[in-house]
Amino acid sequence: MPSSKIVVCGAGGFIGGHLVADLLRQGKTVRAVDVKPLDEWYQMFPDAESHQLDLQEKEACEKAVRGTEIVYNLAADMGGMGFIENNKALCMLSVLINTHLLMASKAAGVDRFFFASSACVYAADKQTDPNVTALKEEDAYPAMPEDGYGWEKLFSERMCRHYREDFGMKTRTARYHNVYGPFGTYDGGREKAPAAICRKVIEAKLSGNHEIEIWGDGHQTRSFMWIDDCVKGTQMILKSDFVEPINLGSSELVSINQLVDIVEDIAGVKLKRRYNLSAPKGVNGRNSDNTLIEKVFGWEPSTKLRDGLERTYQWIHGEITRKSSAPVRATASVTH
């Protein structure tokens, strides 16, 4: 694909920041857009044209895609299981982002449009057992996705399909399965399991309080995809002629307890585990069936979880220790 102006929506977020970095390395001309103030973006690049825009608004979407040929829509109001279970309406409102971006892209003559969907589109009754059968693309129907977040993703997939069928726009969709890595959320309530576990282990080790809280019983299973695999697969899918939604995830299934085991081993510590059975834990089991992506592309995300977690752990450790050693500003206090 020749060098062209590309807009990355959600560029201030975790995946979006890594995608912008990779596109710039390739010499692409990139416009980066996010709702967050620029100083809150996880990664900022002087070589990118960066804008703070609320893409739920149609006018903002028109500004974002003006003069561009390729749109990556990674923008959404989302987080880990704790966030999406307690903020269903906010998650559903992301439908405005994709809908307005599609409308604006059609009007602007955008050539290709990528939508970042999620494994949360899959029916809950196929994910009741930790020894889960890996999810195939056709398992999204009959539809019963994750309430709120999953319904928005499934609806937006359909919008992309109909814009392709009705208007000839080249839309492409990938269903992400639990992406992790550095330069992302690791605290505050929106973080996902790998980052949360890394943070909890680091804090336990640094504080000397060798205990960790685990949401659920720890037997629930997931697969986790290293960020570089996600960025590679995303661009590969966008450039391809394959038009249907496709899984983009690792097939290396682990339980949350096993995830904790790996991070403890990286940290060189063993912690007492306290299970919070009332906390949000999501489905009992979820894994990516990669038969289709292997067939179509001869490739699948394959970075070993241990390798990616070591790099993620080191980045989060550096962030936590940097913040803890930062000088505290003196503040005046008034007593009555």
Spatial distance between the Cα atoms of 213 and 190, rounded to a whole number of angstroms: 16
Q: Residue 176 catalytic?
A: no
Among 149, 163, 176, 313, the active-site one is 149
3-state secondary structure of 8: strand
> Which token pair is 267?
């940290």
CA–chain centroid gap for 197, Å, is 17
3-state secondary structure of 154: helix
Where do runs of H (alpha helix) occur along the chain? 14-25, 58-65, 81-86, 88-92, 95-108, 149-167, 193-207, 227-239, 256-267, 291-297, 305-325
Beta carbons of 103 and 58 less than 8 angstroms apart? yes
Q: Helix %, strand %, coil % for the chain, to 5?
A: 45, 20, 40
DSSP 8-state code for residue 103: H
> Which token pair is 294?
């292997």
> Which token pair is 329?
């500003």
Q: Is the peptide bond before 142 cis (omega within 30 degrees of 0)?
A: yes
CA–chain centroid gap for 1, Å, is 25
Report which residue type is found at 262: I
> Which token pair is 147?
């309430």
Rg (CA), the chain: 20
3-state secondary structure of 248: strand
Positions marked catalytic: 149
